[in-house]
């Protein structure tokens, strides 16, 4: 089975201006040692307006951090006032783009079709999508969690080739666990991440599925990261609130320390 390099990403959402962003990354770098980065990827996803500042900081200080964006438009350019395109992000050395975060699905009306177009735009420009999927509490209580996530994967990956699928990261983020302090149990996270891998195996074959990195997201904190990362199908975390504290995010990243 291929080795999967874990990936821990901080989704800052709509927090921190570009000056605060620089401070946050500088403090994070201060808290982390070389060993903390070894064998795993660490990514920060600040708001658009901070991307250039963080790109420059990462380059000048040679920080082993990846840069991610939280969204993009599906078209490369055009009359789309207020939008940011994938090629613009690629020019800023953005490596990852969140696609289909539940907040974008719920608050900005993004359908699987829209998410699919964004995934493809990101891949067209040599970046990697972090495709977010997850069920609501209502759907979970109705026993529909797995089906909802499978449907989101199918809809969002329409037309994505095997070669492109190998570049994909999927984040399982149950909506009821986001920002609520109520996280999925490690067993629930494992079950859903395994189901995601199973669906990717159906679509792209076992080899692609074995190489796929699946993150868990939803109230990840320093106190629960170890148990989550100990699950065989959990290959990383997508961290919201706790990524806004350099201390907490550093503790999450350095969870392997003795």
Give the residue with the Cβ less far from ligand 13P, 42 or 238. 238
Is residue 99 involved in binding ligand 13P (CB under 6 A)? no
- The Cα 54–Cα 25 span in angstroms is 8
Question: Using CA atoms, how far apart are residues 146 and 152, in angstroms rounded to an integer?
Answer: 10
The residue number whose beta carbon is nearest to ligand 13P equals 240
Angle between helices 18-31 and 48-60 (to 10 degrees): 40
> What's the closest the beta carbon of residue 77 comes to ligand 13P, in angstroms?
27
Between residues 204 and 216, which has the closer beta carbon with respect to ligand 13P?
Answer: 216
Binding to ligand 13P (CB under 6 A) within 168-227 occurs at: 173, 178-179, 217-220
Instruction: Select 46 or 241, whichever has its Cβ closest to ligand 13P.
Output: 241
Of the candidate residues 8, 11, 28, 255, the single one contacting ligand 13P (CB under 6 A)? 11
Name the token pair of 178: 């986001």
Among 100, 241, 252, 255, binds ligand 13P (CB under 6 A): 241
Catalytic residue among 73, 101, 125, 255: 101
How deeply is 81 buried, as exposed, middle or buried, from its count of CB atoms within 10 A (0-12, 13-18, 19+)?
Answer: exposed
* Residue closer to ligand 13P (CB basis): 68 or 211: 68
Question: Which residue, among 128, 163, 119, has the nearest Cα to 111 in the 3D structure?
Answer: 119
- Shortest Cβ 239–ligand 13P spacing (Å): 5
Instruction: Output 205 or 223, the one with its CB closest to ligand 13P.
Output: 223
Q: What are phi and psi of 158, to 5 degrees?
A: -50, 125
Beta strands in 46-142 (DSSP E): 66-69, 96-99, 128-133
Q: Which of 41, 103, 110, 173 is catalytic?
A: 173
CA-angle at 88, arms to 87 and 93, nearest 5°: 90
The answer to whether residues 44 and 55 touch, using CB atoms and an 8 Å cutoff, is no
Dist. CA 235–CA 65, nearest whole Å: 17
**How far is the C-alpha of 128 from the C-alpha of 108, rounded, in Å?**
22
Stretch that binds ligand 13P, among 155-163, 200-208, 225-233, 236-244 (CB under 6 A): 236-244
Nearest residue (CB) to ligand 13P, 102 versus 254: 102
**Binding span for ligand 13P by CB under 6 A among 162-170, 185-193, 196-204, 235-243:** 235-243
Q: Which two tokens stand for residue 125?
A: 């420009």
15 given a catalytic annotation: no
Nearest to 241 by CA among 2, 3, 12: 12
Residue 36, Cα to own-chain centre: how many angstroms?
19
For the CB of residue 206, give the shortest distance to ligand 13P in the complex, in Å: 28
**Residue 133 CB, nearest distance to ligand 13P (Å)?**
12
101 in catalytic set = yes
Q: Known catalytic residues?
A: 101, 173
Binding region for ligand 13P (CB under 6 A): 11, 101, 173, 178-179, 217-220, 238-242
């Amino acid at each position: 089975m291929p080795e999967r390099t874990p990936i821990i990403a901080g989704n800052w959402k709509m927090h921190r201006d570009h000056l605060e962003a620089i401070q946050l990354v500088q403090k994070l770098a201060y808290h982390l040692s070389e060993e903390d980065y070894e064998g795993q990827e660490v990514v920060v996803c600040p708001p658009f307006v901070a991307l250039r500042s963080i790109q420059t900081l990462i380059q000048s200080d040679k920080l082993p951090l990846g840069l991610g964006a939280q969204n993009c438009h599906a078209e490369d350019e055009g009359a789309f006032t207020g939008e940011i395109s994938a090629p613009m992000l690629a020019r800023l050395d953005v490596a990852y783009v969140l696609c289909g975060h539940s907040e974008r699905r719920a608050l900005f009306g993004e359908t699987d079709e829209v998410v699919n177009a964004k995934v493809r735009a990101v891949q067209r420009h040599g970046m990697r999508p972090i495709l977010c999927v997850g069920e609501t509490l209502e759907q979970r209580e109705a026993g529909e969690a797995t089906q909802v996530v499978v449907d989101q994967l199918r809809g969002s990956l329409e037309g994505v080739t095997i070669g492109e699928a190998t570049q994909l990261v999927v984040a399982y983020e149950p909506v009821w666990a986001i920002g609520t302090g109520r996280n999925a149990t490690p067993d629930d996270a494992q079950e859903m991440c395994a189901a995601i891998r199973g669906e990717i195996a159906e679509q792209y074959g076992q080899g692609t599925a074995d190489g796929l990195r699946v993150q868990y997201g939803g109230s990840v904190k320093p106190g629960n990261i170890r148990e989550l990362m100990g699950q065989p199908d959990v290959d990383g975390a997508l961290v919201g609130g706790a990524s806004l504290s350099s201390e907490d995010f550093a503790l999450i990243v350095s969870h392997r320390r003795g």
